[in-house]
Structure 1
Amino acid sequence: MDTDWLTLLCAAALAFSVMNYVLLDGTDLGVGILLGLTHSSRDRRAMAVTILPIWDANETWLVLGGGGLLALFPLAYAILLPALYLPFIAMFLALILRAMALEFRDHAPSEGIKRLIDGGLLCGSLCTGLIQGVVLGTLVKGVPHQGSQYSGDGSEWLEPFPLFCGLVLVLGYTWLGACWLYWRTVDELQRRSARQAKQLAWVTIGLLLVLIGWTTTLHGQYLLRLTAPVVWLPALSILTGLLVTFRAGFRSRFDWMPLFCALGVFVLAFALMLVALYPLIIPPDLTLQAATSKPDSQIFMLVDFAVLIPVTLIYNTYGFSVFSGKVRAQEKS
C-alpha cells in the first residue's frame, strides 16, 4: 500500500479513537460535574448510577489514542509530551480521583463523607475536562520545536487560547452530561436536566463560535480553511439542523434526541479542527508524513486497530444495552 494512504489510515484510526473518547467519557465527566453541584443526595445517587456501569469502559478509548500516537506518530509524541508533562500528570491524577469517588461513594460511612467524596468527583471531572481542553488548545496553537526536539519553556499551555479552549470544553462536557441525564432520568431530575441542557447549549455554541473565530487568527492556513465557503456553508447548515432538532427533542417522546444532537455538534467541531490542521499534526510545520513511523509499524498497528476498535465498540454497545433504561432516585442515598 502507498505510504501516503497508510499514513492517512493511521491518522484516521487515531482521530476516531480520540473522538470516541471525547464523546463517551466527556459525557461521563459532564455528569460528574453536575453531580458535584447537586444538593439532593437522592438525585446525586441516581446520577451516579447512570454512569457507574460504563464509565471505565469509555476510558478505553483514551488508552487507544495515547498508545496509537506513540506507535503511529512517535515524532509527534516526542514533541508533544515534554510540552505538556504537567497537564498530563494532573489529568491522570484527576482521572484517578474521579474513579475513586465513583467507586467508593456508596461505601461512605456518613452523608458528610459522601458529600466530600462527591466534591472530589466534581474536582476530578472538572480538572480533567479543563486540562483536555488546554491540551487541545496548545496543540492547535502550535508547539515550538526544532527538528524532533521540543524547544519551548513548558508554559505554552498557560496562554489565553489554550485556557479558553479548556473553558469551552468543560462547558461542552457539562452540556453533554445534562443531555445524558435528561435521557436516563425521570421526574424533577429530568426536568431540571432539560433546563440545564437548554441553557448550556446556547452558552456552549456561543463560546464555540468565538473559539472558531479566534482560531482563524492563529495561522494563515486556519483562516483559509475555515473561511472557505465549501467548509463553512455545510458546517453552518449542519449546525443549524442539529440545534433545531435539539430543541424539538425536548417536545418529542425520544429522550435520547437532545444528547445525540449535542454529540453531533462535538463531531462537527472535531471535523472542523481536522480540516483546519490537515496535513499538520503539530503546528506550525510538522506534517503527518514527517511524523509517522515506518510502514511495517504502521501496518502492524493498523491490524491491531482493526481488531481492537470493533471489539471496543461491541463492548461499549453491549454495556449500554445491558444497563439501558430510566434510573429513578431511590429513598436510600
Structure 2
Amino acid sequence: MTLDLPLIWAGIIALSVLLYVMLDGFDLGLGILFPFARSPRDRDVMMNTVAPFWDGNETWLVLGGGGLFAAFPVAYAVLMPALYAPVLLMLMALILRGVAFEFRPRGGERGKAFWTAAFAAGSTAAAFAQGLVLGGFIQGVSLDGEAFGGGPLDWLTPYTLLVAVGLVAGYALLGATWLIWRTEDELHGDARRWAWRSAIATAVLLGAVSLATLFVHPQVAARWGFAIGDYDFDRLGLLSPIPLLGLAGLLLIVRGLKRHSHLQPFLGSLIVFLSGYIGLAVGFFPDIVPYDLTYREAASEDNALALMLVGVAILLPMIIAYTIWVYWVFRGKVGADAGYH
C-alpha cells in the first residue's frame, strides 16, 4: 500500500495551523485584554500564566509556514504575494510582542509602561493581521497560471475586516477563559467578566462571518447546500454537526461561567474554534489556494515529500510530547508571588 503523501502533508499543515490558533490564541488574547487589567501587578500575573508556553506555542506557526513552503511550493508562491502586507504586519507584531515580553519585567517605571503598551499593541495587531490573512485566503486568490494574478490590496475587503475583528474577539475569549482557569482572586473575577463580554462578541461575529462566508464564493454556498436558486437539505443536514459543535462550545462556556467552573469555559472556547476551523475548511477543501488550485496540484514530488515525512515522523511526536510535558509541569494556578526570569 502506497501512502497518499500530498494528503498526509495537507493534514500535517492543517493540524499545525489549528494547534497554533488554539495555543497561541490564548496568549495573544492576554495581550488584547492587557489594557483592561486593574494594575501592573495583575498584568504581571497575566504574563506569568503564559511565560512557560508562549514561545513554544509559536512552533506550530513555523511548522505550518515551513511545511507549506516545502510541501506545497506552488501554493506558497501564490499565497505569499497575495497576502504580503498582512503577513508582514503579523510577523512584525509578533516580533514586537516577543521583545516586549522579555523587556517588560526588566524595565523601570517608564520602560515598563512602554513595553506594556507594546505588548498590548503587538498582540492586538498580530491577531488582527491573522484575521486579514484568513479572510483574504477564504475569499479566494486570483491566479495567472501558477502565479498570483491579482493586486497588492485584493485582501482588503469588508469581509476580511469582519473576519479580523471576529478573530480578535475570539482570541480575547480564549485569553479570558485561560485566565479563569489559571488565576485567582480579583483577576479571576475580572476574567469572568471579560469572558462574558468576549463570548457575546464572539458569538455575534461568528454568526456574521459564517453568513458572510456563504456569499464569498459560489463554491462555499454550494458546499453547505445553499446553491443559487436551490437548497440541498441533505447536504445541510450532513454538515449540521459542525455548527452544532460550535453551539455546544458556546453553551459550555455559558454553563461554566454560570456555575463558576474554572476549566469548562476554556474547553468551550477551544470547541468553538475547532468548529469554526472545520466549518471554514469544508468550504474550500481540497483547494489549497481557493478556489482554483488543489493541494495535489500544488504538491512537491513524492520523493521529496517522503524524505521530509521521515524527519517530521521523528520530530512531530517529540514536539507534541514536549508540549504536553510543559503544560503538565506548569499546571495549576498562578499567584502574585510567581516570577518570570
TM range (shorter): over 0.9
Deviation at 1:37, TM superposition (A): 3.4
Could you tell me which of 224, 233, 248 is aligned with 2:240? 233
Distance of aligned partners of 1:223 and 1:300 in 2 relative to their CA distance in 1, 3 Å threshold: same
Separation of aligned partners in 2, 1:133 and 1:96: 18
| Residue of structure 1 equivalent to 2:123 | 125
Separation of aligned partners in 1, 2:244 and 2:338: 46
**SS, match of residue 240 in structure 2:** helix
| Residue of structure 1 equivalent to 2:156 | 158
298-307 vs 128-137, greater mean Cα deviation: 298-307
Distance of aligned partners of 1:253 and 1:314 in 2 relative to their CA distance in 1, 3 Å threshold: farther
Deviation at 1:321, TM superposition (A): 1.4
Could you tell me which of 269, 274, 281 is aligned with 2:288? 281
Deviation at 1:139, TM superposition (A): 0.7
Separation of aligned partners in 2, 1:262 and 1:22: 12
Question: Does 1:28 find its partner at 2:27?
Answer: yes
Question: Partner amino acid for 1:306?
Answer: A
**SS, match of residue 138 in structure 2:** helix
Question: Does 1:327 find its partner at 2:334?
Answer: yes
Question: Partner amino acid for 1:246?
Answer: I
Question: Partner amino acid for 2:327?
Answer: F
Question: Partner amino acid for 2:61?
Answer: L
Deviation at 1:271, TM superposition (A): 0.5
**Does the CA-based 8 Å contact 1:30-1:125 persist in structure 2?**
yes
Question: Does 1:243 find its partner at 2:250?
Answer: yes
**Does the CA-based 8 Å contact 1:42-1:331 persist in structure 2?**
no
Question: Partner amino acid for 2:293?
Answer: L
**Does the CA-based 8 Å contact 2:28-2:123 persist in structure 1?**
yes
When the two structures are superposed, what TM-score results if normalisation uses the length of structure 2? 0.92
Separation of aligned partners in 2, 1:258 and 1:196: 12
Deviation at 1:18, TM superposition (A): 0.6
Question: Partner amino acid for 1:179?
Answer: T
**Does the CA-based 8 Å contact 2:79-2:148 persist in structure 1?**
yes
Deviation at 1:279, TM superposition (A): 1.4
| Residue of structure 2 equivalent to 1:206 | 204
Distance of aligned partners of 1:288 and 1:322 in 2 relative to their CA distance in 1, 3 Å threshold: same
**Does the CA-based 8 Å contact 2:249-2:270 persist in structure 1?**
no
| Residue of structure 2 equivalent to 1:101 | 100
Cα RMSD, aligned residues only: 1.9
**Does the CA-based 8 Å contact 1:246-1:261 persist in structure 2?**
yes
Q: Output aligned runs, 1:68-217, within 5 Å.
A: 68-110=67-109, 112-217=110-215
When the two structures are superposed, what TM-score results if normalisation uses the length of structure 1? 0.94
Separation of aligned partners in 2, 1:72 and 1:250: 43
Deviation at 1:156, TM superposition (A): 1.2
| Residue of structure 1 equivalent to 2:314 | 307
Deviation at 1:75, TM superposition (A): 0.5
Separation of aligned partners in 1, 2:122 and 2:204: 26
Identity %: 40
Deviation at 1:86, TM superposition (A): 2.1
**SS, match of residue 12 in structure 1:** helix
Q: Which consecutive residues of structure 1, in runs of 5 or more, have no partner in the other structure? A: none
**Does the CA-based 8 Å contact 1:42-1:330 persist in structure 2?**
no
Deviation at 1:284, TM superposition (A): 2.3
| Residue of structure 2 equivalent to 1:8 | 7
**Does the CA-based 8 Å contact 1:30-1:174 persist in structure 2?**
yes
Deviation at 1:304, TM superposition (A): 2.5
**SS, match of residue 156 in structure 1:** coil
Question: Partner amino acid for 1:313?
Answer: I
**Does the CA-based 8 Å contact 1:37-1:122 persist in structure 2?**
no
180-189 vs 240-249, greater mean Cα deviation: 240-249
| Residue of structure 1 equivalent to 2:228 | none
| Residue of structure 2 equivalent to 1:53 | 52
Q: Which consecutive residues of structure 2, in runs of 5 or more, have no partner in the other structure? A: 226-234
Separation of aligned partners in 1, 2:33 and 2:71: 36
- Where does structure 1 differ by over 3 angstroms across 4 or more consecutive aligned residues? 251-254, 330-333
**SS, match of residue 281 in structure 1:** strand
Deviation at 1:232, TM superposition (A): 4.2
**SS, match of residue 155 in structure 2:** helix
